Amino acid sequence: MRPIFITFFALALTACGNPETESAEDMADHIAHDDIPVVGFGLDAQGPVEAQQTAINVRASWMRPHPGGRDVTAAYVVVNLSEGSEDLLTGARIEGAERVELHGHIIGDGGVMQMRQIGPQLVTDAGPLVFTPGARHLMVFGLANVIEGDVVNGVLEFQNAGDVAVAFEVRSMPPGQVTDY
């Protein structure tokens, strides 16, 4: 069982991890496929949650530089509840981007892992909602070129907490250590 999990995890980490080897067509082909099951770490779309007062804590927010001059990139963030028991991340906006989609990985035809749009994501007081390379992430479309060292402002949209401002640092590698996530 352990080798299967390790193999699956390695595949998940590589599916979105290297924009240098992914074609522009592959990066642009991020559309929802309702007939393909989403796999992985709680990626299924979540329904509305109970209305309640919540407060969101955001950390480790960053964005990859544009790969090869393309206008598609990925952004990552770790979200915790600091007040309340649950909330629903329903979307995101990034200044200057045409659109931002919540993405995850699916197993497609022939068992090939692919990135696809996912629905709203639940954040609970049980632990963080993590967007990280090779797993859940924000796909950013139509953003002017960003380079290492830039900071791009955005908003995470929650059902209860409303809009939460986020500053994404543009960098090639995640901030902090793996244990920070």
Q: What is the pLDDT of residues 95-124, one digit of tens each?
A: 999 999 999 987 778 888 888 999 999 999
The CATH number of whichever domain residue 89 belongs to comes to 2.60.40.1890
Check residue 180 and give its pLDDT.
Answer: 56
Range of the domain at 100: 2-180
CA distance 110 to 39: 15
Q: Which residue has the higher pLDDT, 59 or 19?
A: 59
Per residue in 39-87, pLDDT tens? 333 444 456 777 788 899 999 999 999 888 788 999 999 999 999 999 9
Residues making up the chain, counted from first to last: 181
What's the domain count of the chain? 1
Residue 120's CB is within 10 A of a number of other CB atoms, namely 19
Check residue 65 and give its pLDDT.
Answer: 95
